[in-house]
Amino acid sequence: MNRKNQITIENMPTLPYAIEEAVNRLRVNMSFLGEDVKKIMVISTMPDEGKSFVAMQLWRQMAETGVDSILVDADMRKSVMVDKYGLKKEDGSKILGSSYYLANDIKLEEAVLHTQYEHGDILPNNDNVVNPSILLENHKFEEMLDQLAANYRYVFVDAPPLNLVSDGERIGSLCDGAVLVVRGNATPKNIVKNSALQLERAGCPLLGVVLNRVKGAGGGYYYKQYGGYYGKSYGYGKGYGYGYGYYGDKK
């Protein structure tokens, strides 16, 4: 293994049981989607709904259960992954990342990082760029996803929000399906519906909807509050619903 690209994710949060369980259910459901579903985009309508959170936790659990998985950061405008999760290369060198890989002539192996999870690799973005559409439109992005899909069982793609630019649609058109994250009590239903339509237009099957950041009345977390959403599809396509709660202090 290439020790040079060994990193430690220093700030991986420990989730409360109910949330860990909800992620677990989502992970198990993934395996029912069949072996053709490998490239999975995690998307939402707006910023801050929890795409990166869901993508990261799903990837982490998948890797922990021994399934080769890679998390690709495709939010190249506003990624905070490296700082927020405390990604540090063991040799102290700079993390190159996804946008660097796409814009420069380096091998994918030079950019992919190995983490403390034996089966979990990661390709974060470390240089936010003003106009990543050019990078995403380039065939190199498509080839990168295909190359990764050939090497890992799952490629989880942490995407930018759908409402801003067409990046999400472009990424979705290259993936086998999408998990749509919806922030509980925040994202209006018609807007969520519109996102589902956008995915459909992009030819990206909606695999499921995650109701995230649901806050319980008591300020704690709330298993009961979101329990009712399990197994429902919200009426979008053939997807199925999931529930998540909220852990930690509300910002």
String of b and e for 129-143 (b: at least 16 CB within 10 Å)? beebeebbeeeebee
Q: Which of 213, 229, 237, 242 binds ligand ADP (CB under 6 A)?
A: 213
Q: Which amino acid is at 122?
A: I
Nearer residue to ligand ADP within complex by CB, 5 or 178: 178
Q: Does 156 sit near ligand ADP (CB under 6 A)? A: no
Cβ atoms 158, 146 nearer than 8 A: no
**Residue 71 burial (CB count, 10 A):** 27
Nearest approach, Cβ of residue 224 and ligand ADP (Å): 16
Are the beta carbons of 170 and 203 closer than 8 angstroms? no
Query: Considering the complex, what minimum distance in angstroms separates the CB of residue 53 from Mg ion?
Result: 8
152 binds ligand ADP (CB under 6 A): no
Could you give the CA distance from residue 34 to residue 29 in angstroms, rounded to a whole number? Answer: 10
Residue nearest to Mg ion (CB): 52
Per-residue x/- track, 47-66, ligand ADP (CB under 6 A): xxxxxxx-------------
Q: Quick check: 16 binds ligand ADP (CB under 6 A)?
A: no
Residues near 23 by beta carbon (within 8 Å), at least 6 away in sequence: 15, 54, 57, 58, 61, 244
Tokens of 231: 């197994």
Give whichever of 57 and 115 is closer to ligand ADP, judged by the CB atom.
Answer: 57
Site for Mg ion in 47-106 (CB under 5 A): 51-52, 75
Question: Which residue number, 203 or 248, has a Cβ lying nearer to Mg ion?
Answer: 248
Residue 247: which of Mg ion, ligand ADP, none does it interact with, CB under 5 to 8 A by kind?
ligand ADP
Q: For ligand ADP, which stretch binds (CB under 6 A), given 27-35, 126-134, 223-231, 242-250?
A: 242-250
What is the C-alpha separation between 51 and 72, in angstroms, rounded?
12
| Under 8 Å between Cβ of 75 and 86 | no
Considering the complex, what minimum distance in angstroms separates the CB of residue 33 from ligand ADP? 22
Residues whose CB falls within 8 Å of the CB of residue 59, separated by 6 or more in sequence, listed in order? 69, 70, 71, 120, 122, 154, 156
Q: Site map for ligand ADP, 18-37, x if CB under 6 A?
A: -x------------------
Task: Give all strands (DSSP E) within the chain, no chain letters.
Answer: 7-9, 39-44, 69-73, 87-89, 113-114, 120-123, 154-158, 177-183, 206-212, 240-243
Binding string, 161-200, against ligand ADP, x = CB under 6 A? ----------------------------------------
Selection from Mg ion, ligand ADP, none that 120 binds (CB < 5 to 8 A by kind) is none
φ and ψ of 110, to 5 deg: -75, -20
Binding positions for ligand ADP, rule: CB under 6 A: 19, 44, 47-53, 212-213, 244, 246-248
Q: Contact positions toward Mg ion, by CB under 5 A? A: 51-52, 75
